[in-house]
A and B are shown apart, each in its own frame.
Chain A
Amino acid sequence: MPEARTAAPLRTADGVPLKTALARAQRRAKWRAAGLVLPLLLFILASFVIPIGQMLFRSVSNDEFSSHMPHMVAWFAENGDAEPDDAAWEALVLDLRQAREDRTIGLIGTRVNYELSGTRSLFTSTARKAEDMEPPYREALLDADEDWADPELWGVMRRASSPYTDAFYLAAVDRTRDATGSVEMVDENRQVYVAIFWRTLVLSVTIALLCLLLGYPIAHLLATLPMRYSNLLMILVLLPFWTSLLVRTTSWMVLLQSQGVVNDVLVWIGIIGEDGRIQMMYNQAGTVIAMTHILLPFMILPLYSVMRTIPPSYARAARSLGATSWTTFRRIYLPQTVPGMGAGILLVFILAVGYYITPALVGGTTGTLISNLIAFHMQESHNWSLAAALAGILLAAVLLLYWLYDRLVGIDNMKLG
């Protein structure tokens, strides 16, 4: 009775409002449940949410220049994109001196060098001389190096003086800002990320589809074989799970390299000649073969768990109703395995998109994926901000895909096992 509820809240025999009494009665149980979940929540927070947040922060953080060049930051704040005046040149010299003393000049030079190549040594070498510079500073600086007059350099410094930047995201999609600040494509021979993102997408889809093609019959077999055979087969499927990823990848290298087992056998039985050895490793083929093998269980398990629940009577019913075995498969069996296929494809795809070790080992140059470039910027070039921006885009792409999947198939329809 809605009227009764609005007019006067129900009360217990003691006169306490019913809702209060209910909340009180359930409070203990709620606290206990929360207490049990708390450790996991904290763990996820510490090991997942915070690191990802830090990564995203780093992809837009721009403190190398802005926090070590205080006078320049102040000057840019006041004068915007005006021509550098005497105060600007003085600020520059003051900051260079301080940075040399603090040993932060390398950071500053590196940051500017990201956007304007060849300027790192300009900062480090000028800073060495800054100690002895005297006014007028403009002449002193230009005396040290003429490049200080370059308006493009001042444009980069202006952008670097703000604490946040989109420069790394722009770089991650092969774009940059010109001297006036408008976005343009980088030089054609330096464009790499968009192509690699695209390749990552295409290879991941290929791998997911290959896994589906290879995994579907196996999953079906698993789901329909008598228990003692299916258990054995299941162990074979799971065996790769228990073997080190590295071992599996290197075994593929042993098999597929041009002096490897497969080529040796082909030469031995005379299908190819000694100089006709097939290049199956250190290219896209290697990446696809090895990753398909490694990710196959992630396709088979969700498929299996769905197929196991489909009783054979459906197929029999369809056959008795006059359908050929192909029609039965297409119209009856296949549609019922869609949740498993969706889960498997999504799982394999998301894993493939972020895969690192296998393409690094067997991918050569044409089989490397975006994660290898992220690793390059983490380990070799030390441009962590760019690595974070690339990872951020990858994360966004996966979330977008997840959303699309939810819209098209429905996450509720996904069965993982």
Chain B
Amino acid sequence: MFLKKLLATSALVALGAAGAQAGEITVMSWGGAYTKSQVEAYQKPWMEATGNKVVSVDADNPATPIKPQVEAGNVTIDIADVEYSDAVRLCDEGLLEEIDASALPPAPDGTPAEEDFIDGALTDCAVANIVWSTIYAYDTTKFPDSPPTTMADFFDLEKFPGKRGMRKAAKANLEMALMADGVPAEEVYDLLETDEGVDRAFAKLDTIKDSVVWWEAGAQPPQLLADGEVVMTTAYNGRIFNAAVGEDKPFQIVWDGQIMDFDLFVIPKGAPNKELAMDFLKFSTGTKPLADQASWISYGPARKSSGALVGTFMDGKTEMAPHMPTAEANMGNALVNDFEFWADRDTELSERFNAWLASS
């Protein structure tokens, strides 16, 4: 993960020198299979269509460099792919360019963009491209007879012994802990608003704390599984899909208790190639590119009109639809991430999470 940060920085430095050329934008994303899907579905077609160039750089969280860059008045990123709560927070702090939703292209059948995007996919400063989810996945070779099926199983060390991988952050972990403790998805955020709810979540996390390996970058969990460092891990569903289907790894996703979220494109305030970036954004969030991206990674397109166009994986045989977070079968017990909750509580809960991590 650090390596990646350094690479990203050096790429940015190199860009500073080359950026003077016309027709070049910098897109920052999350790396690995996810960046690849964007390169294939958005960047290459756009470059072909317009003759412009895209420089793709990665970060553990592309929202991170925006604030320092805008405050320092030295913005090198034209477009960043960020999570919902970050998009809202950055927008509120005036760190992003506003995006006029009506300027986005309509669906092929003429439906205006405002109606074609699923609910919540458009905000003042951001346009969603995918729906992704945080799930957990396990190594099927470790549990050949009775595999885990529920969120509760992830926290059950007796039935399913072995190390767990979890993201080193409060977000998603607290929700999963509550769901594993038997809280229905629709009550999770109400409960987390209360001290008792937070205590209950941490108490549940306590039960597996000693067995957790913490990860930070999205590319790590499939690696941890593959290395045998953990037997199951939370992860972004697309990463596991690509490892399982694309690389034939014995990984299986458990959809129970999945937490869905949007990824959105934002343009940092003062982006060096704002006009081009806007053009790229409009192109990328069109019906066809969004549908195409689903052929490269199992994330759901944010436009309703793209759904029908989703086809097979790049191997040519795997139907993508059942692997989407939004597939009917996967939505049995699903939670939609509450960005407002996290915008309000992130500071407090991160502090508490850090304190909890540090105490042994």
Direct contact between A and B judged by beta carbons closer than 8 A:
yes
Quick check: which of B10-18, B322-330, B351-359 contacts chain A, the rest being far away? B351-359
Is A240 positioned at the interface, with any CB of B under 8 Å from its CB? Answer: no
Chain B residues with CB under 8 A of A117: 344-345, 347-348
Quick check: which of B33-41, B88-96, B99-107, B112-120 contacts chain A, the rest being far away? B88-96
Is A196 positioned at the interface, with any CB of B under 8 Å from its CB? Answer: yes
Most chain B Cβ neighbours within 10 Å, of A357, A364, A365: A365
Is B360 positioned at the interface, with any CB of A under 8 Å from its CB? Answer: yes
Number of interface residues of A (CB under 8 A): 44
Tell whether, in the assembled complex, residue A190 and residue B352 are in contact, meaning their CB atoms are under 8 Å apart.
yes
Tell whether, in the assembled complex, residue B3 and residue A246 are in contact, meaning their CB atoms are under 8 Å apart.
yes
Chain B residues with CB under 8 A of A196: 358
Which residues in chain A, 260-279, are within 8 Å of chain B measured between CB atoms? none
Is A104 positioned at the interface, with any CB of B under 8 Å from its CB? Answer: yes
Tell whether, in the assembled complex, residue B227 and residue A364 are in contact, meaning their CB atoms are under 8 Å apart.
no
Is B214 positioned at the interface, with any CB of A under 8 Å from its CB? Answer: yes
Which residues in chain B, 298-347, are within 8 Å of chain A measured between CB atoms? 340, 343-347
Known: A103-B93, A189-B202, A192-B354. A380 touches B344 (CB 8 A): no
Q: Give the CA-CA distance A140 to B193 in the complex, in Å.
A: 25
Chain A residues with CB under 8 A of B344: 113, 117-121
Is A195 positioned at the interface, with any CB of B under 8 Å from its CB? Answer: yes
Q: Give the CA-CA distance A65 to B229 in the complex, in Å.
A: 46
Tell whether, in the assembled complex, residue A246 and residue B2 are in contact, meaning their CB atoms are under 8 Å apart.
yes
Tell whether, in the assembled complex, residue B94 and residue A365 are in contact, meaning their CB atoms are under 8 Å apart.
no
Chain B residues with CB under 8 A of A102: 94
Tell whether, in the assembled complex, residue B355 and residue A190 are in contact, meaning their CB atoms are under 8 Å apart.
yes
What's the nearest-Cβ distance from chain B to residue A363, in Å? Answer: 10
Tell whether, in the assembled complex, residue A257 and residue B347 are in contact, meaning their CB atoms are under 8 Å apart.
no
Q: Select which of B61, B214, B351 is within 8 A of A190 by beta carbon.
A: B351
Is B228 positioned at the interface, with any CB of A under 8 Å from its CB? Answer: yes
Tell whether, in the assembled complex, residue B64 and residue A110 are in contact, meaning their CB atoms are under 8 Å apart.
no
Q: Select which of B2, B3, B347, B358 is within 8 A of A114 by beta carbon.
A: B347
Is B183 positioned at the interface, with any CB of A under 8 Å from its CB? Answer: no
Chain A residues with CB under 8 A of B358: 192, 195-196, 199, 365-366, 368
Chain B residues with CB under 8 A of A106: 89-94
Q: Give the CA-CA distance A199 to B89 in the complex, in Å.
A: 33
- CB-defined interface of A108-125 with B at 8 Å, one 1/0 digit per residue? 011001100111110010
Tell whether, in the assembled complex, residue B213 and residue A189 are in contact, meaning their CB atoms are under 8 Å apart.
no
Q: Give the CA-CA distance A257 to B67 in the complex, in Å.
A: 35
Task: With CB as the reference atom, state the residue of chain B lying closest to A383.
Answer: B347
Is A360 positioned at the interface, with any CB of B under 8 Å from its CB? Answer: yes
Tell whether, in the assembled complex, residue A282 and residue B213 are in contact, meaning their CB atoms are under 8 Å apart.
yes
Q: Give the CA-CA distance A107 to B347 in the complex, in Å.
A: 13
Tell whether, in the assembled complex, residue B348 and residue A361 are in contact, meaning their CB atoms are under 8 Å apart.
no
Task: With CB as the reference atom, state the residue of chain A lying closest to B269.
Answer: A103
Is B6 positioned at the interface, with any CB of A under 8 Å from its CB? Answer: yes
Is A379 positioned at the interface, with any CB of B under 8 Å from its CB? Answer: yes
What's the nearest-Cβ distance from chain A to residue B342, in Å? Answer: 10
Is B52 positioned at the interface, with any CB of A under 8 Å from its CB? Answer: no
Task: With CB as the reference atom, state the residue of chain A lying closest to B124.
Answer: A103
Chain B residues with CB under 8 A of A257: 227, 229
Task: With CB as the reference atom, state the residue of chain B lying closest to A64.
Answer: B93
Tell whether, in the assembled complex, residue A380 and residue B350 are in contact, meaning their CB atoms are under 8 Å apart.
yes
Chain B residues with CB under 8 A of A105: 92
Chain A residues with CB under 8 A of B228: 259
Is A224 positioned at the interface, with any CB of B under 8 Å from its CB? Answer: no
Chain B residues with CB under 8 A of A282: 213-214
What's the nearest-Cβ distance from chain A to residue B169, in Å? Answer: 8
Q: Give the CA-CA distance A361 to B344 in the complex, in Å.
A: 29
What's the nearest-Cβ distance from chain B to residue A118, in Å? Answer: 5
Tell whether, in the assembled complex, residue A189 and residue B92 are in contact, meaning their CB atoms are under 8 Å apart.
no
Q: Select which of A120, A258, A366, A379 is within 8 A of B64 by beta carbon.
A: A379
Task: With CB as the reference atom, state the residue of chain B lying closest to A257.
Answer: B229
Tell whether, in the assembled complex, residue B67 and residue A382 are in contact, meaning their CB atoms are under 8 Å apart.
yes
Tell whether, in the assembled complex, residue B229 and residue A121 are in contact, meaning their CB atoms are under 8 Å apart.
no
Q: Give the CA-CA distance A246 to B358 in the complex, in Å.
A: 24
Is A191 positioned at the interface, with any CB of B under 8 Å from its CB? Answer: yes
Is A241 positioned at the interface, with any CB of B under 8 Å from its CB? Answer: no
Chain A residues with CB under 8 A of B340: 121
Which residues in chain A, 308-352, are within 8 Å of chain B measured between CB atoms? none
Is A303 positioned at the interface, with any CB of B under 8 Å from its CB? Answer: no
Task: With CB as the reference atom, state the residue of chain A lying closest to B61.
Answer: A380
Tell whether, in the assembled complex, residue A190 and residue B348 are in contact, meaning their CB atoms are under 8 Å apart.
yes
Is A291 positioned at the interface, with any CB of B under 8 Å from its CB? Answer: no
Chain A residues with CB under 8 A of B350: 376, 380-381
Is A307 positioned at the interface, with any CB of B under 8 Å from its CB? Answer: no
Tell whether, in the assembled complex, residue A124 and residue B92 are in contact, meaning their CB atoms are under 8 Å apart.
yes
Tell whether, in the assembled complex, residue A121 and residue B61 are in contact, meaning their CB atoms are under 8 Å apart.
no
Q: Give the CA-CA distance A259 to B199 in the complex, in Å.
A: 34
Tell whether, in the assembled complex, residue B92 and residue A109 are in contact, meaning their CB atoms are under 8 Å apart.
yes
Task: With CB as the reference atom, state the residue of chain B lying closest to A114.
Answer: B347
Task: With CB as the reference atom, state the residue of chain B lying closest to A113.
Answer: B347
What's the nearest-Cβ distance from chain B to residue A362, in Å? Answer: 11
Tell whether, in the assembled complex, residue B343 and residue A121 are in contact, meaning their CB atoms are under 8 Å apart.
yes
Is A222 positioned at the interface, with any CB of B under 8 Å from its CB? Answer: no
Is A256 positioned at the interface, with any CB of B under 8 Å from its CB? Answer: no
Chain A residues with CB under 8 A of B356: 189
Q: Select which of B2, B92, B227, B343 is within 8 A of A361 by beta carbon.
A: B2
What's the nearest-Cβ distance from chain B to residue A144, in Å? Answer: 15
Chain B residues with CB under 8 A of A124: 92, 343
Chain B residues with CB under 8 A of A107: 92-94
What's the nearest-Cβ distance from chain B to residue A50, in Å? Answer: 14
Is A295 positioned at the interface, with any CB of B under 8 Å from its CB? Answer: no
Which residues in chain B, 201-239, are within 8 Å of chain A measured between CB atoms? 202, 213-214, 227-229
Q: Give the CA-CA distance A257 to B229 in the complex, in Å.
A: 8
What's the nearest-Cβ distance from chain A to residue B221, in Å? Answer: 15
Which residues in chain A, 123-165, are within 8 Å of chain B measured between CB atoms? 124
Chain A residues with CB under 8 A of B360: 365-366
Q: Give the CA-CA distance A281 to B91 in the complex, in Å.
A: 39
Tell whether, in the assembled complex, residue A259 and residue B227 are in contact, meaning their CB atoms are under 8 Å apart.
yes
Q: Select which of B61, B64, B193, B355 is within 8 A of A192 by beta carbon.
A: B355
What's the nearest-Cβ distance from chain B to residue A41, in Å? Answer: 25
Chain A residues with CB under 8 A of B354: 192, 373, 376
Q: Give the CA-CA distance A379 to B229 in the complex, in Å.
A: 27
What's the nearest-Cβ distance from chain A to residue B189, in Å? Answer: 12
Chain B residues with CB under 8 A of A357: 2
Q: Give the CA-CA distance A387 to B355 in the complex, in Å.
A: 16
Q: Give the CA-CA distance A179 to B174 in the complex, in Å.
A: 29
Chain A residues with CB under 8 A of B351: 190, 192
Q: List 12 A-B contacts (CB under 8 A).
A: A103-B91, A106-B92, A107-B93, A117-B344, A118-B344, A190-B352, A258-B229, A365-B214, A373-B354, A376-B350, A380-B61, A380-B350
Interface set of A (CB-CB < 8 Å, partner B)? 102-107, 109-110, 113-114, 117-121, 124, 187, 189-192, 195-196, 199, 246, 257-259, 282, 357, 360-361, 364-366, 368, 373, 376, 378-383
Q: What 9 pairs across the A-B complex have the smallest Cβ distances?
A: A106-B92, A103-B94, A117-B348, A106-B93, A192-B355, A365-B357, A121-B344, A120-B344, A118-B344
